[in-house]
Structure 1
């Protein structure tokens, strides 16, 4: 499904030129020590590269549900030895504090973990004209369960996430740009020739690209990694050795079915939902609102089962966790997807598949 025309308020805020935003909602932990790679390999859902390189990953609980999605930057300690910096969403949530959680797993490993959030700022940058220069063609592995994995080119030739310290190519989706860490209070070098924008512009950037992030989109202790697109975004390795939450994740890959996905959605009032020019939506809605499927023609079929969830949203666009059967039903014109706001008003939800979404 092609992306819809966005509301004027979104088009005004959405940055289309070289842009950079400081992400105040992020914290950073340092993981160093001679056994740091083995330590992270045993708890994160992605494989740890043999040399210290950046990547995107997740930490799951024992039941295979997501606790944190995170970027892992390459770093070095005061002795010049390789280390890692973990950037994650710092807002309080149902997940245990990440520092406490990691220390619980250390046991006798030769690893040092400390909070360095007061030393670094996290930034996101994107440039629609320059980013395609390094964005290589993507191939995909499709599992019968519906899981999808990016098949990167030979990593010995070029690491897909980049090779610089404190810098990551954001490969979660085509067009996302890159992430970087800089010393607290400093400005990245790119800031001199990028437009600095507010974090809301970054949030809209990732929403329209269909990229979930943090505790609102990937609910701690509730979200499954495949429902949350972590497989497509390169955060899950289905062939590595044991890690926390691996058993259920791999079982779903081989024998289960992925029934839900997070997709970008257009939020419209019922009066304007058929308009070719979507109206501005002034309000933002609470996350976790139920999205209900409704038959377009009453009595034309069995009542649709299940519901979806509205996640991050602003200015009439958002992300939503939806059953794929409901999305296909709406594509075919059989269903409408609706939710009720706190004041009782009804709203229509129009999902779309991002342009980068893998096609089998």
Structure 2
């Protein structure tokens, strides 16, 4: 259960907000679907009107961009797509330039159309309950939690032009692509909020997004919860970065995940209002040694890294083995920024499976070992 200080930030009324820093690429041509299919982690839907969520990976399997793909027919009804992604500067190569390197002789046309579109999010409407239903999970690969969509239901991400049903997490609402300078029709029935309100909205629903949360050239897709959010398909054909992704999947073992966190100053229960930079999260000292002068030293093991925060809420990449057993209430860790100390409370999202099979097994083993020690 979230504490009152965090629950107070939740917007329950129908809300619409702009999403900044987003760019849009147009991919058209008779081979547009085939071209994209070899570069992304999700298969191209058979329905030419179906949208979806996916990821572009580096050849070594690290994330370059998480992206929404809107179906949009090109001239003469040829296949076409609009790729929406975070365009803030990062270590990743610019997406347009990268895609151009793969075109070769393909019948594909690429164009930056960011000046033609704005991106908005809308959530909290009663209409969402018709499709935003409780999801089922495929937990056959230990630490990996992949949603299973109902084959008899409508396409999970939607087919309405310019509107994506955001299935990354329950309650995320819709993703809206509107003409530059226009406002979505939802402004007449929803509260109009700020981009920061959208950031809080997705943080409270455990959805990392963009270059701050999913660090390009450094993050792995499963560690970034892209499997949970429906961006990965392990049964599709080849794509860039597939080898390492498939190898990790078939081992069934994952060492880290991004989790939502609340950040407070040590000794103060109020949330830290100002954003914090990337900070290491460390546990208590667990190794000791003596230097050449005989002075005892300690080393604090790295537990993870704080990725982003806003109004005291954000995301951190944490070691799963340090979180066993995992509970659905907040638990406290510590980080330091110079002389300032902070407490970081992490949360296992309540819409995820309680815990993965491997962690459940470790939890049971740990309880068994403690029971034996007590008997001794």
Is the pair's TM-score, using the shorter chain for normalization, greater than 0.5? yes
Find 1:79's aligned residue among 53, 76, 81.
76
Matched with 2:281 is 291
Q: Secondary structure at the match of 2:302?
A: coil
Cα distance in 2 between the residues matched to 1:212 and 1:332: 18
- Unmatched tracts of structure 1, length 5 or more: 273-277
Are 2:224 and 1:234 aligned? no
Matched with 2:47 is 51
Matches within 5 A, 1:202-351: 202-272=198-268, 278-286=269-277, 288-294=278-284, 305-328=301-324, 336-342=332-338, 344-351=339-346
Cα distance in 2 between the residues matched to 1:49 and 1:304: 48
Matched with 1:356 is 351
Q: Return the offset for 1:329.
A: 6.1
Are 2:135 and 1:138 aligned? yes
Q: How many matched pairs?
A: 343
Q: Secondary structure at the match of 1:130?
A: helix
Cα distance in 2 between the residues matched to 1:330 and 1:75: 43
Contact 2:33 2:79 in 1 (8 A): no
Larger % of helix: which? 2
1:33-70 CA deviation, whole Å, 9 max, x = no partner? 11111111111011111122100000001100000000
Relative to structure 1, the CA distance from residue 256 to residue 63 in structure 2 (aligned partners, 3 Å threshold; closer, same or farther) is farther
Cα distance in 1 between the residues matched to 2:29 and 2:132: 33
Q: Secondary structure at the match of 2:76?
A: coil
1:109-161 CA deviation, whole Å, 9 max, x = no partner? 11111000000101111015332222133111114341111100006x41000
Matched with 2:197 is 201
Contact 1:293 1:326 in 2 (8 A): no
Normalised by the length of structure 2, the TM-score is 0.86
Cα distance in 1 between the residues matched to 2:163 and 2:148: 22
1:83-111 CA deviation, whole Å, 9 max, x = no partner? 10000001010000000011111111111
1:257-302 CA deviation, whole Å, 9 max, x = no partner? 1111111111122213xxxxx414232101x211112279x9xxx9
Cα distance in 1 between the residues matched to 2:157 and 2:102: 26
Larger radius of gyration: 2
Matched with 1:119 is 116
Cα distance in 2 between the residues matched to 1:312 and 1:195: 26
Cα distance in 1 between the residues matched to 2:133 and 2:325: 33
Contact 2:285 2:301 in 1 (8 A): no
Q: Secondary structure at the match of 1:79?
A: helix
Contact 1:161 1:168 in 2 (8 A): yes
Cα distance in 2 between the residues matched to 1:348 and 1:325: 20
Cα distance in 1 between the residues matched to 2:350 and 2:256: 18
Contact 2:16 2:121 in 1 (8 A): yes
**Which of 1 and 2 has higher RCO (CA within 8 Å, sep 6+)?**
1
1:296-338 CA deviation, whole Å, 9 max, x = no partner? 9x9xxx98743211112111111111111223368699x8511
Cα distance in 1 between the residues matched to 2:227 and 2:328: 27
Q: Return the offset for 1:350.
A: 0.7
Cα distance in 1 between the residues matched to 2:325 and 2:285: 9
CA RMSD of aligned residues (A): 2.4
Q: Secondary structure at the match of 1:253?
A: helix
Normalised by the length of structure 1, the TM-score is 0.89
